[in-house]
Amino acid sequence: MKYQVVFKPFTERHHIKSFAKKYQGAWGKTLKALTIEFTFVQLLFEKTIAEIICVSPDNDIKICKTEFKILGTQVSRHDSGCRCVIAIHESKKLVNVLLVYNKGDVDGKNETAWWTNLVKDTYPEYRDIL
């Protein structure tokens, strides 16, 4: 099943800029690969690349965390520290990419608490799900 993929403006303005600057040409290829992966998002769960963090009461929206690697590097998905937080809307067949970050971007020691608070503060529409 194909999903529409939308990178939300917040994630484009913030962390994607630093990835683009740091990895230059490799980032463009990585962004295309992420778009393709999220178009077929259900496959990520079969490969255990993504994990569901929480689900809306009506089971329509799933907030998930995924791992990715920068194309052209020798570092694995897990070891790269590169992550995305996505919201899958089943009824709309839509994947909203809420955050793209590296573990080095995390303030403090608790990665989950960091991105959960960032999502709650930035995306009020998902606040009640988290």
Mean pLDDT confidence for 1-22: 89
pLDDT digits 0-9 by tens, 29-58: 999 999 999 999 999 988 888 999 999 999
Beta-bridged to residue 55, according to DSSP, are 62
Within a domain: 109: yes
Domain of residue 94, residue span: 4-123
- Per DSSP bridges, beta strands 61-68 and 50-55 are antiparallel
Distances (CA, A) of 17 to 21, 28, 101, 118: 6, 11, 10, 17
Within a domain: 79: yes
Mean pLDDT confidence for 89-107: 93
pLDDT at 109 over 90: no
Within a domain: 105: yes
pLDDT digits 0-9 by tens, 52-87: 999 999 999 999 999 999 998 888 888 888 999 999
Within a domain: 129: no
pLDDT at 18 over 90: no
Whole-prediction pTM: 0.93
Within a domain: 98: yes
DSSP string, 68-98: E--TT-SS-HHHH-EEEEEEEETTTTEEEEE
> What is the domain count for the chain?
1
* Cβ atoms of 76 and 69 closer than 8 Å: yes
* Cβ atoms of 65 and 87 closer than 8 Å: no
Distance CA(47)–CA(26), nearest Å, equals 23
Query: What is residue 114's predicted lDDT score, i.e. its pLDDT?
Result: 94
Least confident of 51-55, 86-90, 93-97, 102-106: 102-106
Q: What CATH number did the domain enclosing 66 receive? A: 3.30.2310.20
Helix (H) or strand (E) holding 3: none
* Cβ atoms of 54 and 129 closer than 8 Å: yes
Query: What is residue 49's predicted lDDT score, i.e. its pLDDT?
Result: 87
Within a domain: 128: no
Report the percent of the chain where pLDDT is more than 90: 69
